[in-house]
Amino acid sequence: MANIVVVGTQWGDEGKGRVIDLFAKKVDAVVRYQGGSNAGHTVVVDGEKFVFHLIPSGILHPGKKSIIANGVVIDPEQLLKELEELRERGIDTHNLYISTNAHVVMPYHKDLEVWEEEKRGKNKIGTTGKGIGPAYMDKAARRGIRMGDLLEKETLKEKLSLNLEIYHQLYGFDYSEDDLMQKLLEYGQKLKTYITDTSLLIHNLMREGKDILFEGAQGTLLDIDHGTYPYVTSSNSTAGGVCTGAGIGPRDISKVFGVAKAYTTRVGEGPFPTEIKGAVGNLLRKRGGEYGATTGRPRRCGWFDAVILRYAARINSLDELILTKLDILDQLDKVKICVAYNCRGKIIKDFPGNFELWKECKPVYEEIEGWKEDTSKVNSYSELPSAARNYIKRIEQIGGVPIRLFSVGPQREEIFATT
């Protein structure tokens, strides 16, 4: 299968977890390369649900390597909890590898996030509260504590002192240095067997001809550079993040897959042109179980936005698309696809690079017939009602990306090829 990337093409929660689980069968290792425990990736196997926050969604496949690379920010407490829960459910976690250079999410990162969201008031970002932004902030400020530091007492002490001093001076936050040191060293001891040079590990796997799958978290519009800034996360969640986040070169990537939901959702604040308020939005939320896998917050729901898909295709150089949750649209009389925006009186087909412009854009819709049939039991593309096939075809035509797979249920086997 060579080295492939799976990224979200919308605002996250597109169903990446289930796609990773499917592709993981065919590769030797699955790598998380950005984000942290803000992610919530769901995999359902024989009715049993697993939600992954930090651990790659391929871990359910015995013998495959699960790698958390340098670009991820790790909350050790969350990671240990996730490991423990998996072990209790009989999942083998020995094949986990953690980058020595991945940054650690500290308690003061979470406190700062709460503090800043409060200060922002009505302009809050609506973050997941997992300390992600402040952890990347310290990384960029070159004072971050990294996983390898948890194994080096003297270095850790120096770095921690500096950080506690800075957080005290800047924000008036106070923590017991001794307590924190003790906790961090304990985390280090519990995780030391997993901590390694993951860039070299990935490189060596590639040299042996092994296939690697890079698991994106969040989605294109949450990317810190290319998303709907400032309503974004703090990492590069687009395919470009793979190289820096895992320590590989761009020529090592053979294929990029995008995942899109058959409609759109967004959790947190920020503009959302195709958002549906009222009955249809509520129906999608209810049928789609659209509540955050990490925070439980209700997700905002809207029509499919093909302007965004074209943008995601460009930013990620998408080869193919996987369309999930088609079944959720089953009861609708009409289904709409946003094909362009009306922006200050002009019709535009390209996603505007200027956020100020974009937030004023109004969607221009193409309305197509709904299928009003239960698709959740189909076993192939040809069994889909013709209106559902037409919907897939239109998204493919308008979005300009071939759709390779579609899914009609959360279970492992409820995903099918379009050929």
**Active site amino acids:** 13, 41
Spatial separation of the C-alpha atoms in residues 85 and 224, rounded to whole Å: 31
- Which 266-305 positions form the footprint of ligand GDP (CB under 6 A)? 289, 293
Phi and psi torsions of 10, nearest 5°: -120, -130
Tokens of 145: 């504590």
Q: Is 8 in the site for ligand GDP (CB under 6 A)?
A: yes
One-letter amino acid identity for 280? V
Residue in 65, 7, 1 with CA at minimum distance from that of residue 31: 65
Tokens of 213: 């799958």
Q: What is the C-alpha R_g of the chain?
A: 21
As given in the structure block, the two tokens for residue 123 are: 């302009």
Q: Which stretch binds ligand GDP (CB under 6 A): 26-34, 174-182, 238-246, 405-413?
A: 405-413
Per DSSP, the three-state class of 48 is strand
Query: Which residue in the set 40, 58, 148, 363 belongs to the binding site for ligand GDP (CB under 6 A)?
Result: 40
Among ligand GDP, Mg ion, ligand IMO, none, the one that 370 touches (CB under a kind-dependent 5 to 8 A) is none
Q: How far is the CB of 132 from ligand GDP (least distance, A)?
A: 15
Angstrom distance (rounded) from CA 113 to CA 116: 5
Q: How many residues of this chain interact with ligand GDP, rule: CB under 6 A?
A: 22
Q: With contact defined as beta carbons under 8 Å apart, do 42 and 296 qualify?
A: no
Site string for ligand GDP, 307-346 (x = CB under 6 A): -----------------xx-xx------------------
Residue 323's φ and ψ, nearest 5 degrees, are -105, 120
Those residues whose C-beta lies under 8 Å from the C-beta of residue 302, and which sit 6 or more positions away, are 263, 264, 265, 266, 272, 273, 274, 275, 276, 281
Maximum separation of any 2 CA atoms in the chain, in Å: 66
Minimum CB separation of residue 124 from ligand IMO in Å reads: 10
In the block, which residue shows the tokens 């009003």?
Answer: 372
Site for ligand IMO in 93-132 (CB under 6 A): 125-128, 130, 132
13 binds Mg ion (CB under 5 A): yes
Return the residue of 40, 258, 273, 302 that touches Mg ion, per CB under 5 A.
40
How far apart (Å, rounded) are the C-alpha atoms in residues 50 and 39? 13
CB of 7 to ligand IMO, least distance (A): 10
User: Shortest gap between Cβ of 218 and ligand IMO (angstroms)?
Assistant: 4
Q: How far is the CB of 237 from ligand IMO (least distance, A)?
A: 8
38 interacts with, out of ligand IMO, Mg ion, ligand GDP, none, CB within 5 to 8 A per kind: ligand IMO
- Which residues make up the interface to ligand IMO (CB under 6 A)? 8, 11-13, 38-41, 125-128, 130, 132-133, 217-219, 222, 233-234, 267-268, 293
Q: Which residues bind ligand GDP (CB under 6 A)?
A: 8, 12-18, 40-42, 44, 289, 293, 324-325, 327-328, 407-410
